[in-house]
């Protein structure tokens, strides 16, 4: 079962004892006089926060601090962590006491979320931050789209909503110049708010250039 978890994670432990400890619930530890995963969970919570924050800032440079915080809050809840844990069948590998197994501990969101954080800490201690980053992104990237469909909007739609909320007007796009032969033109668009240039972008069509200009503007607003 441990090997299966490594397969789901896409990571092989140099020190398998770290993985075993990450899978050890306190109920099992008390019965067998071994260390539980609570300290690893404590470290894993911090590792998770760091990686998720770094990923969101790099992936969505146009979002405000408040929007990033809202998205981050969705990704680090126990229920979200538990869903990821269920996707990799983590519950089947947990070391639980007989009583906890009878209480459906393998499906308990809190136990699963804690164990996933412990596993992230174990990977961090075993292989370093970069490998932990890669594992976490493989597990979490699809989840971001599922829980936040609004972030899949076109850059122009996101920009328009933000400009209307802030300035109470609509942004305007202008083609600043074109380059190349008629059959292979490249457009450069400008995005203006209150007649002030906020962003520029290029593309092989007007729409593509406008989207690029909107993306550029979002990084400033």
Q: Which residues are catalytic?
A: 45, 117
Alpha-carbon distance of 212 to 122, in angstroms, equals 41
Q: How many beta carbons lie within 10 A of that of residue 95, not counting itself?
A: 22
Residue with tokens 């802030």: 166
Write out the H or E segment, with its range, that includes residue 178: strand 172-179
Q: Torsions phi, psi of 128, nearest 5?
A: 100, 175
For residue 105, give Cα distances in angstroms to 90, 102, 140.
11, 7, 23
Token digits for 106? 């393998």
Alpha-carbon distance of 67 to 215, in angstroms, equals 16
Q: Are 156 and 130 in contact (CB under 8 A)?
A: no
CA 193 to chain centre: 31
| Cα dihedral 23→26→30→36 (10° resolution) | 50
């Amino acid at each position: 079962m441990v090997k299966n978890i490594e397969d789901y994670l896409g990571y092989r432990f140099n020190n398998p004892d770290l993985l075993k400890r990450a899978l050890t619930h306190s109920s099992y530890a008390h019965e067998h006089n071994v260390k539980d995963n609570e300290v690893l969970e404590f470290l894993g919570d911090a590792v998770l926060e760091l990686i998720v924050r770094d990923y969101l800032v790099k992936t969505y440079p146009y979002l405000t601090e408040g929007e990033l915080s809202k998205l981050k809050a969705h990704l680090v809840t126990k229920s979200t962590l538990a869903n990821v844990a269920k996707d990799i069948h983590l519950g089947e590998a947990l070391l639980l006491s007989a009583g906890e197994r009878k209480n459906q501990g393998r499906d308990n969101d809190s136990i699963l979320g804690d164990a996933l954080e412990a596993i992230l800490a174990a990977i961090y201690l075993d292989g370093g931050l970069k490998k932990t980053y890669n594992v976490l992104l493989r597990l979490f990237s699809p989840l971001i789209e599922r829980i936040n469909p609004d972030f899949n909007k076109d850059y122009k739609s996101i920009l328009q909503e933000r400009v209307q909320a802030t300035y109470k007007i609509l942004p305007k796009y202008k083609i600043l110049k074109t380059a190349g032969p008629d059959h292979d033109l490249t457009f450069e668009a400008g995005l203006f708010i209150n007649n002030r240039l906020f962003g520029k972008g290029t593309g092989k069509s007007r729409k593509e250039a406008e989207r690029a200009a909107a993306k550029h503007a979002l990084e400033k607003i």
